[in-house]
Amino acid sequence: MPVGRTARRLAAGIALALAGAATPLAGAATIAIDAERRGDTIDIHASAPLKADAETAWRVLTAYDRYPEFIPDLRTSRVVARHGAIVTVEQSGDARVWLLPVPLDITFEIVELPPSSLRSRAVSGSLRALESSYELTPAAPGMRLDYVGHVAPGFELFGSIELQAVKQNVARQFQALADEIERQSAAAPAR
Q: How does pLDDT run across 121-166, given as a tens digit for each residue? A: 999 998 889 999 999 999 988 999 999 999 998 765 556 688 898 9
Residue-range definition of the domain harbouring residue 174: 29-187
Q: Are 117 and 110 in contact (CB under 8 A)?
A: no
Give the CA distances from residue 165 to residues 70, 82, 92, 111, in Å, rounded to whole numbers and listed in that order. Answer: 20, 32, 18, 27
Residue 60 located in a structural domain: yes
Closest CA to 178 of 65, 77, 51: 51
- pLDDT tens digits along 54-87: 999 999 999 999 999 999 999 999 999 999 999 9
Residue type, 101: P
pTM of the full structure:
0.82
Domains: count for the chain: 1
Residue 148 located in a structural domain: yes
Residue 9 located in a structural domain: no
CATH code: domain of residue 112: 3.30.530.20
Residue 164 located in a structural domain: yes
Q: Are 107 and 125 in contact (CB under 8 A)?
A: yes
